[in-house]
Chain A
């Protein structure tokens, strides 16, 4: 069994939440010039914007990032060097790219998984009244973080 398969099915998943946190911190630091921090574990974010990337191969599932509209605009603003009031369609592009980078950075941190797991192009959903259901058969790995004082949630749902 390859290392990544062992990771996906075995007992090392306790490292995944710290790896998600680290992957996100690196992306925000390098690409947005912002340090993010852990929020209280039960913190939730209003799902006004959800960016998702599918994972396929040795690790199958969906990584999503959800936050409120204001945070999404501010993330795009910092990523693109635009004033927040100048951010339009770029918000979805930036959120999609952030989710792609967090997913890619995460999988590259799991030994042996980089080659065996491909990412889909990102999808971004916006709105105030929607629910997302992933047909995953295991609990989600979630980490709540603070960006400029506002909470956002990174979630990884895995098919076994």
Chain B
């Protein structure tokens, strides 16, 4: 999935300087303790910890503070969207998705951040 998302971001016209990927939320937290990023994309259904727990634990990572999170997930119900946004996600992309849908969610978030 990570390669598919990266491909979609490039197809959407984003220039990606560096992409870090992680197999689960714990690995992602470890990466974020070492590296400064502009955007985090994650699923809700993940091994080790789900996406909502991951967002919660992000607040304990200094380098990740203020970094926007966008969920990319098959969980498409309104309740899941509300849960994710309430937890702190800044965007929500339902799978399957098009590069345009990725762009629609990612670009405004990056524009606000910059």
| Interface residues in chain A, defined as those with a beta carbon under 8 Å from any beta carbon in chain B | 26-27, 30-31, 79-81, 90, 93-94, 97, 100-101, 103-105, 108, 114-115, 118-121
Q: Which of B4, B47, B75 contacts A114 (CB 8 A)?
A: B75
Q: Which residues of B contact A118 (CB under 8 A)?
A: 45
Q: Which residues of B contact A79 (CB under 8 A)?
A: 4
Q: Which of A30, A90, A115 contacts B79 (CB 8 A)?
A: A115
**In the complex, number of A-B residue pairs with CB atoms less than 8 Å apart:** 55
B3 close to chain A: CB less than 8 A: yes
Please indicate which of the listed interface residues A26, A80, A103, A108 has the most CB atoms of chain B within 10 Å of its own CB.
A108
Pairs across A and B, CB under 8 Å, 22 listed = A26-B96, A27-B96, A30-B98, A31-B4, A79-B4, A81-B7, A90-B3, A93-B1, A97-B1, A100-B74, A100-B95, A101-B74, A104-B73, A104-B76, A105-B76, A108-B74, A114-B75, A114-B76, A119-B45, A119-B74, A120-B45, A121-B45
The residue of chain A having its C-beta at the shortest distance from the C-beta of B8 within the complex is A31
Please indicate which of the listed interface residues B7, B45, B47 has the most CB atoms of chain A within 10 Å of its own CB.
B45
Q: What CA separation (Å) do A118 and B45 show in the bound complex?
A: 8
B20 close to chain A: CB less than 8 A: no
For residues 61 through 114 of chain B, which have their beta carbon under 8 Å from a beta carbon of chain A? Answer: 73-77, 79-80, 94-98
Q: Which residues of A contact B7 (CB under 8 A)?
A: 80-81
B-side interface mostly: loop
Nearest-neighbour CB distance to chain B for A72, whole angstroms, equals 15
Nearest-neighbour CB distance to chain A for B40, whole angstroms, equals 19
Q: What CA separation (Å) do A71 and B19 show in the bound complex?
A: 29
